[in-house]
Amino acid sequence: MKFSVLMSVYEKEDPLFLRESLESILIHQTVIPTEVILVEDGPLNDGLYSVLEEFKGQFAFFKTIALKENVGLGAALNEGMKHCSYDWVARMDTDDIAAKYRFERQLKFLQDNPDIDVLGGAISEFGNSVQDIKAVKQLPKEHSSIQTMLKRRSPMSHVTVFFRKASVVAAGGYQTLMYIEDYYLWARMITSGFRMANLDDILVHVRVGNGMYSRRGNREYIRSWKILNQYMLENKLITGIDLTVNMLLIRGFIFLPPKLKEFVYKRILRK
């Protein structure tokens, strides 16, 4: 099956991390992508440009799309999708590392389950190296369980998803909703009748920094969560009670100190 990989990079990202990410999908995979589309979300630093030029010189199927200004992840991915040649698209972040069997296992599942429109999987969170595993995050496998989790939190790890482009476009693509564009997309896709699944396999190793937990939740989350939950209520994905509970939870979470946020995330939200 031919497929595209869709990525986006912006000026504050680390050239070394970008290199490691690209190597994980272009060199170390058991199945190499048919094409890679990387969106330059605004002007980049010299180090990032250097890495991109190097990889474009090595791989003819690696293409970059330059945007004149930074537009944010959702808008950048929408632009990138326009340049994806194939109906199946794998998402990948430019500071994470794909497991070497990622594409092979996702392609096998999709070939065996043609009714699935979005396929994700587990992630590991690492510190200084991929061997420095801090945690593993797994999500529900079946569509019905995914729909149940959707009521409280995102049921898909965005960095792992492999999706049918036509289905994402039919659901409206990525729409601007700060911090949770992907969660909003899953809600709209489920409302539209598209089906999802997750693998138990760790598909992507996700880099976590010292400031990760302090950034998990701020006042902007409240506005985004309100819009998302109102949408889910209007489309009967949640009840009024669910909406009230969700808003109370997010309001409580954002005011926690970073250490307590870390505890809640690891012991409760990751489960």
Mean pLDDT in residue range 25-50: 98
Burial of 10 (0-12, 13-18, 19+ CB in 10 A): buried
Instruction: Give me the pLDDT at residue 213, please.
Output: 47
Tokens representing 213 are 């937990």
Which run of H or of E encompasses 62? strand 62-66
- Asked if residue 123 lies in contact with residue 137, where contact means CB atoms within 8 angstroms, the answer is yes
Measure the CA–CA gap between 118 and 77, rounded to whole angstroms: 16
Instruction: Give me the pLDDT at residue 259, please.
Output: 63
3-state secondary structure of 164: strand
Measure the CA–CA gap between 246 and 225, rounded to whole angstroms: 8
Measure the CA–CA gap between 198 and 42, rounded to whole angstroms: 32
The helix, strand and coil proportions of the chain, stated in percent and rounded to the nearest 5, come to 45, 20, 35
Mean pLDDT in residue range 130-137: 90
pLDDT tens by residue, 171-208: 999 999 988 999 999 999 999 999 999 999 999 999 98
Measure the CA–CA gap between 93 and 83, rounded to whole angstroms: 17
pLDDT tens by residue, 54-70: 999 999 999 999 999 99
Instruction: Give me the pLDDT at residue 43, please.
Output: 98
Tokens representing 206 are 């996700």
Instruction: Give me the pLDDT at residue 227, please.
Output: 97
Instruction: Give me the pLDDT at residue 214, please.
Output: 47
Mean pLDDT in residue range 102-116: 99
Instruction: Give me the pLDDT at residue 152, please.
Output: 93
Mean pLDDT in residue range 133-150: 96
Instruction: Give me the pLDDT at residue 256, please.
Output: 66
Lowest mean pLDDT: which of 63-67, 126-130, 259-263?
Answer: 259-263
Higher pLDDT residue, 30 or 269?
Answer: 30
Mean pLDDT in residue range 8-22: 97
Mean pLDDT in residue range 3-16: 98
Instruction: Give me the pLDDT at residue 65, please.
Output: 99
Say if residue 126's pLDDT is above 50.
Answer: yes
Say if residue 262's pLDDT is above 80.
Answer: no
Residue reference for tokens 């009670």:
241
Lowest mean pLDDT: which of 38-42, 91-95, 207-211?
Answer: 207-211
What share of the chain has pLDDT > 90, as a percent? Answer: 82
Measure the CA–CA gap between 153 and 145, rounded to whole angstroms: 12
3-state secondary structure of 12: coil
Measure the CA–CA gap between 160 and 35, rounded to whole angstroms: 17
Tokens representing 136 are 């593993």
Radius of gyration of the chain (CA): 18
Nearest alpha-carbon partner for 139 in 119, 159, 155:
155
H-assigned helices in the chain: 15-26, 46-58, 73-82, 102-112, 143-150, 165-170, 181-191, 212-215, 219-234, 240-254, 258-264
pLDDT tens by residue, 142-181: 999 999 999 999 999 999 999 999 999 999 999 999 889 9
Nearest alpha-carbon partner for 91 in 181, 153, 177:
181
pLDDT tens by residue, 197-248: 999 999 999 998 644 444 455 678 889 999 999 999 999 999 999 999 999 8
